[in-house]
Chains A and B, each alone.
Chain A
């Protein structure tokens, strides 16, 4: 079946219209709304600015008018003027009085204000009887408003091109009544005549001036489009600072001008005298004057015009894209519909092929559903019988359910309570878990049965197992710790922590075997988790990768051992060569002496190397203790034997009388040797010839023994006693006795005693002697690792 073209086109048009509506309508609505909003904002802003400006102008104008009024009022009170006027009116010596008065006005009054173009005085009939200009005298002003009002009070008026006074066309006249001092009656009116052009100048200048000040910012955008008119009592705009001269003096009878007659000031949009729509504000002044500030709306809203243009452009652009998109979409969508239509058409054989493709589809579907409905009806009939049976059954069940409902509700209430409690607990738990998970070391927590409860990210990374993999399983499947040297499993320190209820540490040099079988050096500690009653609930294990630390440790140990070897080799070489030389070669007595000196210096050097290496070991930290059984009495005796040559040389007496028969101890040989050597060699060094050294060994109890070295030496000065165990510290007297001491012997001895877990102290009197006491455990504890670390030599 072929589809006619018009069908597709009509569908496409529908689609296009929909797209346009959906795409453009919001844009248009939004655009219109935003333009309106901008316009309102702009309007308010301009209103504010105009009012501000108008008020400023009004203020200036009022100040000016006040000053002219004040000046005129002053003149009206002038005694000479009053007296002269009285005299003129009385008719006595009128001629002279007038001449005198004219002169007075010319000489004394007019110069007071350069803006005054002329002054004249009228009698009560409005006839000018005195003036600064003789030609003015005799003019009748009785119909002029300034005369009529001036008789009552101070007033002013504008005269535009009607009356020429003092040769000026546009005048501004301020009048004031002159009173007789005695009778308080008004006897005349004085008039000061100003040139309106002067006021125009004043305002133009003043406005320009104000624009350069703080107003500039506010009004810069309005300059050029703002117009100000000052309209007089006859509705003539006579002061217009921003418009050209020839435009002056036209009648303005617009809406705000009319409103001023009701003393209503206006801020609004209205039609001005040129029939243009303007935004304007008016100020109503005295004597029927009005001040107008206006901006053509077209100018004020020019930003909106450009917005409108932009909006129009955008709408056009959008419309174009939407039309293109709609056409493309229509093609894409129409194709499958066309195919479907063909298929459905062939099923239904519908003969009605009018309408567009979608409506055709609809008709095809209608037919299909009608067929289906027929079949459904048959099924329903059959089902009706069945339904009745089911209904009966359902009723029975419903009764039972009602019974159960009651029970269920009760249970639900309980469940809710439990739920709330659980929620509170869960919150607490998740907080704790978050803290534990963010620890920088690997962390595992297990319950009392060793089943893993917590396994943080670092632990996952280190072991290669994920938390979900290990949670709920026993830790020994995943945390496999072995000894680095023996490669056998280490003692289960986690089980031990839980069993003993105290913190345990994994043995030194342990490795963990991760998921991939890689061995990683670790340092672990385990702490039991206890409840408030002290019952053990589980265990927390913190472990971390110490690959780097082990490497550094090894490098340090290697370095010391290499340095030790390299330094000792040449020293031994010197020693042996001298020994060999002395034995083999014939040397003079003197030569032999020298060689022996070299030999003993070399021995000292060798000792010094030992001392320095020991210090460097101690400084490096982590010196280890490896205990072995030693019989101390015998060891001491042998050592004392070795030093016999030295004691004889200095005629010293060494006694070792007080001691047990034998004393088996468990200690580190290197550390012990350091203590004994340091104390005894110190005694030898600092005891003068003929002195006495007494060595005592005592078993204090089953656990400790004391070793005492007492000499009759130079003693330790009080000033050095506090620091004698510090590095490089020597008593001042010791420095005098022996300049080659290092000040390291006692430092090493103290460190060695600390290592073995003992105490060292002394009693000393300068020049009498010193006794060193050492208290050490009979059994010291090994801290040494199996692969061999740093130890004292």
Chain B
């Protein structure tokens, strides 16, 4: 049984592939989006349980996607974890302000830690 549906928005093909495989191995259903505009379309059709959102994206910045998600009634309830290279405090602050649930700075973590964090996240939801 699948643990949950995730949309992974990540423009770097290699990072996207690794995370996809890691999460799939861990039992999640993952759909990939490679730019900001695509992300919006896929999220609308997939209605995932969680969104992993990169910030620096082609076509549309991650913050703009986030804002759009939180403004639309269909998507505003979907939790979002930002995964990015940008590690500055302002970015974290801004992400949280815009309604993100968590924040992962890629450069500071091993890929396994991302899977851990996602699993943890779903556990918490189920507990509630």
Contact = CB atoms under 8 A, between A and B. Distances in A.
Interface string B57-96: 0000000000000000000000000000111111000000
A572 B106 contact: yes
Contacts of B107: 568, 571-572, 606
Given A569-B12, A573-B14, A580 B56 contact: no
B18 A580 contact: yes
Interface stretch (B1-9, B19-27, B119-127): B19-27
A575 B110 contact: yes
A793 B87 contact: yes
Contacts of B106: 568-569, 572
Interface in B15-54: 15, 18-19, 21-22, 25
A788 B92 CA distance: 13
Contacts of A568: 85, 106-107
A473 to B, nearest CB: 40
Given A573-B14, A626-B89, A565 B110 contact: no
A573 B90 contact: no
| Residue of B56, B85, B86, B107 most packed against chain A (CB within 10 A) | B107
Contacts of A577: 14, 18
Interface in A579-615: 579-580, 583-584, 606
Interface residues of A, number: 23
Contact of A584 (B25, B85, B87): B25
A565 B86 contact: yes
B12 A576 contact: no
Nearest to A572: B106
Given A571-B107, A575-B110, A580 B85 contact: no
Contacts of A793: 87-88
B15 A564 contact: no
Contacts of B21: 580, 584
Nearest to A561: B86
Nearest to B18: A576
A723 B120 CA distance: 49
Contacts of B86: 561, 565
Nearest to A609: B107
A134 interface: no
Nearest to B16: A573
Nearest to A565: B85
A329 to B, nearest CB: 83
A569 B14 CA distance: 10
A791 interface: yes
Contact of A579 (B25, B88, B110): B110
A576 B15 contact: yes
B36 to A, nearest CB: 15
B85 A628 contact: no
Given A572-B106, A577-B18, A791 B88 contact: yes
27 contacts: A561-B86, A564-B85, A565-B86, A568-B107, A569-B12, A571-B107, A572-B15, A572-B106, A573-B14, A573-B15, A573-B18, A576-B15, A576-B19, A577-B14, A577-B18, A579-B18, A579-B111, A580-B21, A580-B22, A583-B112, A584-B21, A584-B25, A628-B89, A669-B89, A788-B88, A788-B90, A791-B88
Given A584-B25, A628-B89, 12 more contacts: A565-B56, A568-B106, A568-B107, A569-B85, A572-B107, A576-B14, A576-B15, A576-B19, A579-B110, A579-B112, A580-B18, A788-B90
Interface of A: 561, 564-565, 568-573, 575-577, 579-580, 583-584, 606, 626, 628, 669, 788, 791, 793
